[in-house]
Amino acid sequence: MARTKRMAVREIMHEGAQCVTEGQTLFDAARMMRDLDVGCVPICGDDNRLKGMITDRDIVLRCCAEGRDPAQVRAGEFAGSLWWIDADADVSKALDAMEEHKVKRLPVIDVADGHRLVGMISEANLARNLSDHELGEFVGQVYAPA
């Protein structure tokens, strides 16, 4: 995708993502999402490293709808396949990764600073910073039926 201006992910990301720990429950994760007014939170381990992501949809479909108690299920059970982007990568790389993996949010890691989680990039960040054409391509890829 050709962009008119090179931008690093850190220029458009939302800084300061808060994590739920692997040992916290999905109930804790849901409360955190409510309090932060977000639909997703990163899962971090005791080593403060990113282990996964949990969405409000995961809690509903993979926990509640299965008859499990969110107050008894640990967030670590949802850690697994994880995609992230380096804070210094070009925004087009984040866009490509989000389209390829059909995700609406992507954790941002500062590779130069010990792989520390420094923020999140979301479709809202993209909407504020991409052309209508680029945003349309993103929506077509991410929201396309599988």
Q: For 1-18, give the DSSP string.
A: ---SS--BHHHHSEE-PP
- The CATH class of the 9-142 domain is alpha beta
Taking the model in full, what pTM does it have? 0.82
**Tell me: the pLDDT tens digits for 7-21?**
899 999 999 889 999
Name the DSSP class of 112.
Answer: G
The CA–CA distances, whole Å, from 135 to 42, 81, 142, 145 equal 24, 25, 11, 17
| Alpha helices for the chain (secondary structure H) | 9-12, 26-36, 56-62, 91-101, 123-129, 132-142
Label residue 1 by pLDDT band (50, 70, 90).
Answer: very low
Name the residue ranges covered by the structural domains of the chain: 9-142
Better pLDDT: 134 or 55: 55
Phi, psi of 131 (to 5 degrees): -70, 160
What is the arithmetic mean of pLDDT over 30-34? 96
